[in-house]
Amino acid sequence: MPVNDTIQDLGLDEYKYHFITEDEPVFRSGRGLNEKVVREISAQKDEPEWMLASRLKALEIYNAKPMPTWGGDLSKLEEVLDQIYFYVRPQEKMERSWDDVPPSIKETFERLGIPEAEQKVLAGVGAQYESEMVYHSLKKEWDDKGVIFDSIEDGLKNHPELFREYFGTVIPAADNKFSAMNAAVWSGGSFVYIPKGVELDTPLQAYFRVNQEQMGQFERTLIIADEGSRAHYIEGCTAPMYSTESFHSGVIEIVVKPGAHFRYTTIQNWSTNMYNLVTQRSLVHENATMEWLDGNLGSKLTMKYPSCVLLGEGAHGSIMSIAYAGDGQHQDTGGKVIHAAPNTTSSIISKSISKGTGRSTYRGLCKVYEGAVNAKSNVECDALLINDTSRTDTYPYIEIEENRSNIGHEATVSKVGDEQLFYLMSRGMSEEEAMALIVRGFIEPIAKLLPLEYAVELNRLIELEMEGSVG
């Protein structure tokens, strides 16, 4: 089609985060996962003995657990994992000023716009490159109020009691195969503590970049939002495109204390050679609110189901998920809400777009335990299919043990209607403009919740992805 040719000439469909930085790491483990690698990581981090023991125990659990047979296609993953570098240390120590970050790495983050955003709209920034946080800083006013925003390693070093009290309590190593893997080889990620009653008016952001080929990134984040606090944490992820597969498996644990309000936003735009298998869970106490805003645009396969365990009376959990699956991509995403206390409420809203040979899957759980009286939950899933080669699935699990509750699930699957397209084109739009507008309208309920910069970026991405999709 002529339109498609023109688009291709413009090169708009390219992944704009594909650039490789030439540099030499200061340390790199061998390929594959074994006890030696685990011991090396622990030694590199100069960890206390209990942490090494905990890592080795997790490795045992990992080895004992079978590879999941549900979700995406993991049949080639073992081969991929044998070739992966589990730990790559890019520089000697983490810096507090961009000026001290090695120029090649600094340039990478400048191209991603991180230092600029930090000055304008963020309360604090962490930047991870390969296996380590290379930069972490928090604005002074928040530091003065006792907010901790640090790399996970510094969290362990500088706040050992707090760290040990919560680490692995939300997501134990034995939770699943990949949480066990992460517990064995974790490196990088953030340690966040928001003191009682402190309300951050701008977000904290962590940015994750994988640069090397055949690299595995295993960030570990632990967040404690103390009573009555309020904060928003944003995570962004990119990597260059290689012909071989890379691997990312994070574990995010969040404790939301009574009356606190925490929002965790992910904009995942990994290159399409990335396996992205992440476990994210929050424990939500009395009258607290947890919101997950989960955007999955990149990766080859993502399996990720952010969850809220509503432990305290009046707790509220919300999961808003948006997935885009282009050619060859499988987004197996969704969310879990577990009602374990009375008067808890939750909502899951999921929107997905499948294009070309892309496949989006919603997989979710809504569980109400006996005794969680007056629990209310509503789940809505909408899927949009762009081509006849696209695929979508919906697998909700609804388990209700309490009759004094009110639970609903709804899903629809549709195609962009010829009538909608015709209407917009009759107003003078090209077919592609019309398609992009309809898709933007479809994701708007979620996009509008993003910080402005991200909403603009998401819309731009969708527009690019929709170019050349019709005709």
Partner 1 sequence: MSDTSTIDQPIGGLMEGITDAFNASAVEAVSGGEPAWLANRRTEAWSAYERTPLPTTRLEEWRYTNLRKLLKLDRLGFDGVSLDAAVATGSDAEPFDLAGAPEALRAAMEADHAASGHVVEIDGRIVHVDLDPELASQGVVLTSLRRAVADHPDALDRHLATDALPASRGKFQALNAALWTDGVFLHVPKGVRLELPVRVTRYLTKPGTAFFNRTLILADAASQVSFVDEGLSADFAEQTLFSSAVEVIANDGAQVQYVSLQRMGRGVFHLQQQRTLAGRDSTLDTLNVALGASVARTDLNARLLGPGANSDMLGLCFGEQGQHFDHNTSQDHVAPHAKSDLLYKGALDGNARSVFRGIIKVHKNAQQTDAYQTNRNLLLSEHARADSLPNLEIEADDVKCSHGATVGQLDQEHLFYLMSRGLSRDRAERLVVLGFLGEVLSRLPLGGVVEKVTRIIEERLQHG
The stretch near partner 1 (CB under 8 A) out of 20-28, 81-89, 127-135, 392-400 is 392-400
Query: Does 60 contact partner 1 by CB under 8 A?
Result: no
Q: Of residues 370-389, which lie at the interface with partner 1 (CB under 8 A)? A: 370, 383, 385-388
Q: How far is the CB of 410 from partner 1 (least distance, A)?
A: 4
Residues 413-452 that bind partner 1 (CB under 8 A): 413-415
Most distant CA atoms of the chain, gap in Å: 70
- For residue 137, the one-letter residue type is S
Note whether 104 binds partner 1 by CB under 8 A: no
Residue 167 region by backbone torsions, left for phi larger than 0, else alpha for psi between -120 and 50, else beta:
beta
For 408, half-sphere exposure in the C-beta direction (CA atoms, 13 angstrom radius) is 8
Q: Which of 8, 169, 244, 406 binds partner 1 (CB under 8 A)?
A: 406
Task: Out of 400, 425, 455, 464, name the contact with partner 1 by CB under 8 A.
Answer: 400
Selected from 73, 100, 141, 401, the binder of partner 1 by CB under 8 A is 401
> Is residue 310 at the binding interface for partner 1, with CB under 8 A as the rule?
no
CB 130 within 8 A of CB 25: yes
Q: Which of 159, 395, 453, 464 binds partner 1 (CB under 8 A)?
A: 395
How many C-beta neighbours within 10 Å does residue 332 have? 25
Q: Which among 107, 37, 84, 86 is positioned nearest to 244, based on CA atoms?
A: 84
- Contact between 398 and partner 1 per CB under 8 A: yes
Least distance from C-beta 185 to partner 1, angstroms?
Answer: 23
**Closest distance to partner 1 from the beta carbon of 399 (Å):** 5
The binder of partner 1 chosen from 206, 325, 365, 372 (CB under 8 A): 365
User: Residue 404 CB, nearest distance to partner 1 (Å)?
Assistant: 6
Report the residue number, 147 or 375, with the smaller CB distance to partner 1: 375
**Of 96-104, 146-154, 300-308, 360-368: span binding partner 1 (CB under 8 A):** 360-368
State the residues that interact with partner 1 by CB under 8 A: 70, 365, 367-368, 370, 383, 385-388, 390-415
